[in-house]
Chains A and B, each alone.
Chain A
């Protein structure tokens, strides 16, 4: 290309040319392959639907986790006001873990939303380009000699082909991400199934295992801090019967109960 002295090193372009090579002659595809175009646009729609499904699944998990966080927080407070620091700690450990999962779910949901938007925009853009091509082709045919027209139509077709290939890449990328998030969603579901986010009244026989895992998973310091904060909050209220509560360090908030 004129003016480019050095050498650009990104390889995306070669990826796109490879995709174009794999397709039949793009001008032919665009010219006669209406069926092909419809097929491709349907694929894009399916890709978008996959993204939406993955997003819905994550959103469901997210709202479940939100409920768990609220419930576990309440239970920790109740346990602490009854002097059961052990139970309070357990509830807080679960809450911390649920919050961490929640944060990562939420950022993934945002990412998927962006992807869905981008695919939708690009699909519309491609549709528009294909229509442009149809019109342009007729104009070119009318204006130029057959040989010249062939060259120009070929050029225009490469332009549309590039658009198609780029959308293809975006689809692949979206699929990869959706796949990762599906795996992530399954992992969270496994934790859920193991009772990791259950509230502490639901603890059954597997309690010891779960508790041990929780202690490994959650940061002890974080739980300690929160426990202290909760003690301080409750300490200002009617916590007279709570045994050996340490004084909160100066930052006493008004207790809620």
Chain B
């Protein structure tokens, strides 16, 4: 799967990571919904770590769309409240 970190670029991740990323994402949403800023940043850094650990930067000549686009690394909690919402990014 192809993941973009907004403002940074695209990474190729093994498809197995999708479930893990999705789980972290769902937990991040509930943290945001509960106004749990510390919890959110903990999950957010886990998401970024996952991409950094398993992901390979896409070559410049690979022109493909991303499957998942993550918000900018330095997202503020207030912004997160807009980005991490219950609306699905990937339709079922």
Contacts and interface: CB of A to CB of B under 8 A. Distances in A.
Interface SS, B side:
loop
B68 A129 contact: no
A4 B13 CA distance: 13
A209 B74 CA distance: 40
A10 B22 contact: no
19 contacts: A4-B19, A5-B19, A5-B22, A7-B88, A8-B68, A11-B84, A11-B85, A11-B89, A13-B69, A118-B7, A125-B60, A159-B64, A160-B63, A162-B66, A162-B69, A166-B69, A170-B7, A173-B7, A173-B72
Interface residues of A, number: 35
A9 B29 contact: yes
Given A14-B89, A166-B7, A4 B67 contact: yes
Contacts of B89: 7-14
Nearest to A125: B9
A10 B70 contact: yes
Interface residues of B, number: 41
Given A12-B6, A125-B9, A169-B6, A132 B66 contact: no
Q: Which of B16, B82, B90, B91 has the most CB of A within 10 A?
A: B90
A102 to B, nearest CB: 22
Contacts, number: 115
B60 A158 contact: no
A11 B87 contact: yes
Interface of A: 1-14, 16, 114, 118, 122, 125, 128-129, 132-133, 136, 155-160, 162, 166, 169-170, 173
A53 to B, nearest CB: 21
| Nearest 7 CB-CB pairings of A with B | A159-B63, A7-B88, A8-B89, A156-B63, A3-B15, A13-B69, A6-B22
A157 B65 CA distance: 9
B72 A133 contact: no
Given A3-B18, A170-B6, A12 B71 contact: yes
A4 B65 CA distance: 16
Contacts of B68: 8, 10, 13
Contacts of A16: 69
Contact of A10 (B1, B7, B83, B92): B83
Interface string B16-49: 1011011101101100000000000000000000
A10 B19 CA distance: 15
Contact of A9 (B67, B82, B84): B84
Contacts of B92: 7
B7 A122 contact: yes
Q: Which of A2, A10, A159 has the most CB of B within 10 A?
A: A10
